[in-house]
Amino acid sequence: MYSPPYNRMEDRAELVQFLRANNFPLIVTRGLQASHLPATVHETGTRLVLDMHMARPNRQWQAFDGTEVIVVFTGPHAYISPRWYEDKERVPTWNYTAVHLYGVPEIIEVHGEKHAGVRNLVAAMDPQWLPQFDALSGEYVEKMLGGIVNFRILITRIETRWKLSQNRGRREMELIAEQLRKQGDSALADLTLKHLAK
């Protein structure tokens, strides 16, 4: 992904928070197969690990043959109008946040690990329902787990882009954030203000 140095996200805590908040990425494998899937994000030492699953009838998992995949996370984004700048000689652009993660998927076959992967997703997304998940019958759980393919990806490479008009300077970023907030894009407005150019 093209990302000038001033657009790169170097803060690990903010990166992990972003991934967890935008945890329905696109996974792309060889042959240009792609699926939108939920993901839980874990840190193992200095490495990131994704736990994911897909429906067994989705044939994309058959492309997990030891080759690298890309997992694309996207966050807030919006059209940026030239009307918003003080300098009127500007062109339209699009501001956005995106992370590309690379790694090799490893299919999880062990029953306890498969169950834990789904349970971790429920715990992250719906903790109030977790007791009911834990109370599901063994027969139902076996059927559910049989219908999905669980896998994990140990991340080997990370590319980031926080394109927030940092190249336009602090004042222009403040004006953009103000207009974004007026049109209801408060998440992108907040990120823009958080990353104001020095």
Does the residue 100 lie in any domain? yes
| Residue 27, domain member (yes or no) | yes
Q: Give dist(CA 176, CA 165) in Å, integer.
A: 8
**The two structure tokens encoding residue 114:** 């498969």
Q: What is the CATH number of the domain that holds 84?
A: 2.30.110.10
The reply to whether 132 falls in a domain is: yes
Strands 33-36 and 93-108: unpaired
Answer yes or no: is 76 within a domain.
yes
190 found inside a domain? no
In a domain, 117, yes or no: yes
Residue 52 forms part of a structural domain: yes
Query: How many independent structural domains does the chain possess?
Result: 1
178 in any annotated domain:
no
pLDDT tier at 28 (50, 70, 90 boundaries)? Answer: very high
Tokens of 49: 């690990």
Instruction: Look up residue 146 and give its amino acid.
Output: G
Q: Is 133 helix (H, G, I), strand (E, B) or coil?
A: helix
Q: Percent of the chain, pLDDT > 70? A: 100
Over residues 50-94, the pLDDT tens digits come to 999 999 999 999 999 999 999 999 999 999 999 998 887 889 999
For residue 75, what are the domain limits? Answer: 5-167
